[in-house]
Amino acid sequence: MIKVGIVGGTGYTGVELLRLLAVHPDVQLTAITSRKEDGLPVADMFPSLRGVVDLAFSSPDKADLTQCDVVFFATPHGVAMAQAPALLAAGVKVIDLAADFRLKDQATFEKWYKIPHTAPELIEEAVYGLPELNRDDIKGARLIANPGCYPTTMQLGFVPLLKAGLVDAGNLIADCKSGVSGAGRKAEIGTLFSESSDNFKAYGVHGHRHTPETSAQLARYTEQKVGLIFTPHLVPMIRGMHATLYARLNKDIDDAALQALFEDTYKDSAFVDVMPFGSHPETRSTRGSNMLRLALHRPEGGNTVVILVVQDNLVKGASGQAVQCMNLMFGLDETTGLKQIALLP
């Protein structure tokens, strides 16, 4: 059994990790931390876990994380980079759900996250945890930088086109929407029910942290200079993310060949569903599951490809993807413990 520790067990990605890992056949939950809830049984905070998780939260300083085989950091940025060096030195693998190791350029990280990087020696080693594009590297990794939720949708939508050299990489547009759980469980005015329900707004239009992450990753798949305009929106739902991606074709290709390109790219990826050309994926078709669904459109047969991508921000956008990476790192089938079907309605 893989002994698992979770730092940040009281947050939304933390409880999502608990939901998935509590029934994972190869995992033994070993330590779950919270600074505020030391000693509280996990099931007292999350009754959904009564009868399946019998551990209590412990403060990070009391939890002996070195007894684990792998530790997930479901924490704000800055936490994993402080603890990863000691854990790795003790032979523990680390999967960070935050941004500490996502950007290879330290200055770019420090500019966008406004904190100094305290473990720059690990940046190069960290493997970007997007299995559909990086499977082999993840298998051999000790340290995973789990992708951001929006970047997962943008990369899985744009990369097949960039790799095939079919689109103008300098003019990519991503119009994306996230449910409110994307902001985490901490109290904030903007995520109060009265502020975020019955409301719809864009944010971060002048620049969002997920733009440099996505642009840097997309640049790995094209010789062209990447230009990405990314506009995130907050929608009044709890879970779910919808990305509408636009790319300009620079070569002649028919709809069937476009569709075949995506189907071929993801033929061995159990968690990417390439839907029929021209269909309209819905967020609720992924709710609670690790599935990302996408569909291609070509409005009026013109030279703009529109890719619609949906996922559950807390599963494929965060904790499910992290478990997918863990499976690969420990030589398991990538889908182990992740075969839940979306909840509908």
Ligand X SMILES: NC(=O)c1ccc[n+]([C@@H]2O[C@H](COP(=O)([O-])OP(=O)(O)OC[C@H]3O[C@@H](n4cnc5c(N)ncnc54)[C@H](OP(=O)(O)O)[C@@H]3O)[C@@H](O)[C@H]2O)c1
Min CB(249)–ligand X separation in Å? 31
Residue 9 or 212: which CB sits closer to ligand X? 9
Residue 246 or 271: which CB sits closer to ligand X? 271
Min CB(315)–ligand X separation in Å? 9
Q: Is 149 a known active-site residue? A: yes
Strands of 172-178's sheet, edge to edge? 201-202, 228-234, 172-178, 241-248, 304-311, 292-297, 272-274
For residue 221, CA distances in Å to 86, 160, 162, 225, 230 come to 34, 9, 6, 11, 18
Q: What separation, in Å, do the N-terminal and C-terminal C-alpha atoms of the chain show?
A: 35
Q: Which of 35, 110, 129 is nearest to 75 (CA)?
A: 35
Q: Which of 57, 36, 35, 38 is nearest to 46 (CA)?
A: 57
In degrees and rounded to multiples of 5, residue 42 shows phi and psi of -55, -40
Non-local CB neighbours of 330 within 8 Å, separated by 6+ positions: 2, 26, 69, 70
In degrees and rounded to multiples of 5, residue 223 shows phi and psi of -80, -20
Min CB(51)–ligand X separation in Å? 22
Min CB(63)–ligand X separation in Å? 10
Choose, from 68, 149, 176, 325, the residue flagged as catalytic.
149
Min CB(73)–ligand X separation in Å? 8
Q: Which residue is nearest to ligand X (CB)?
A: 11
Residues that bind ligand X (CB under 6 A): 7-14, 34-37, 60, 74-77, 79, 97-98, 148-149, 181-182, 184-186, 313-314, 317-318
State the virtual CA torsion across 247, 179, 340, 159 in degrees, nearest 10. 20
Residue 40 or 173: which CB sits closer to ligand X? 40
DSSP 307-336: EEEEE-TTIIIIIHHHHHHHHHHTT--TTT
Residue 62 or 186: which CB sits closer to ligand X? 186
Residue 113 or 158: which CB sits closer to ligand X? 113
Looking at the annotation, which residues are catalytic?
A: 149
